[in-house]
Amino acid sequence: SLQAAADAELKNNNLTLVNSSRPKVGGLPALVMVSDQLNQEDPNASLRVLTYLIQYGGNIYKINGVSLRTDFARYRSTFLSTMDYFRKLTDPRKINVLPEVVQVKTVKQTAPLAQVLRSFNMPTTRHQELAVLNGMELKDQVQKGTLIKVVGKQGS
């Protein structure tokens, strides 16, 4: 339950409840609480935590916004701008996306990494990222038969 999750959050993180409410977030049941994690040795290092617990699909999602207690008012609206807009995802263009997977390919001819990546139809906008993935520079010569990593859609 949301209350059990809230109680566990407070206990597990040594938090003191300041206030709580039970709004609907994106039409879903939620429990929102503000709590403090007090630092006895240095009260200026005490933290304030805004926690959103949102129940959806048999799960409880937790979103925390944490700052120094003294800075909380400054960050509260930023935290809320994210947390208040939690919604059930219904856009099929975002739901029906295949994940990218790392694939290992054998280099067919000796060439600079950039050229090898082009030969595997990797978009130039991703070449630098793929160079890092392979621990190389784009100008590095890659020998024929070398195994390199590229990225593709699952199942492709």
pLDDT tens digits for 37-89?
998 889 889 999 999 999 998 999 999 999 999 999 999 999 999 898 888 88
Q: How far apart are CA 91 and CA 128, in angstroms?
A: 31
pLDDT of residue 156: 55
Task: Output the CA–CA distances (angstroms, integers) from residue 36 to 10, 15, 43, 70, in the order listed.
Answer: 9, 5, 11, 11
For residues 52 and 35, the answer to whether their CB atoms sit within 8 Å is: no
pLDDT of residue 40: 86
Dump pLDDT digits (tens) for 78-125. 999 989 888 888 899 888 888 889 999 999 999 999 999 999 999 999
Residue 82 host element (H or E)? helix 72-83
Q: With bands split at pLDDT 50, 70 and 90, how would you rate the model's confidence at 143?
A: very high
Select the more confidently predicted residue: 30 or 100. 30
SS3 140: coil
On the question of pLDDT at 155 being above 70, the answer is no
For the chain, the 3-state helix, strand and coil shares in percent, each to the nearest 5, are 30, 35, 30
For residues 48 and 34, the answer to whether their CB atoms sit within 8 Å is: yes
pLDDT of residue 98: 83
Facing residues of 36 across strands? 16, 48
Residue 81: both structure tokens together = 């701008």
Of 2-6, 84-88, 152-156, the least confident: 152-156
Residue 7 host element (H or E)? helix 2-12
Strands 47-56 and 59-68: what pairing?
A: antiparallel
pLDDT of residue 89: 85
pLDDT of residue 133: 95
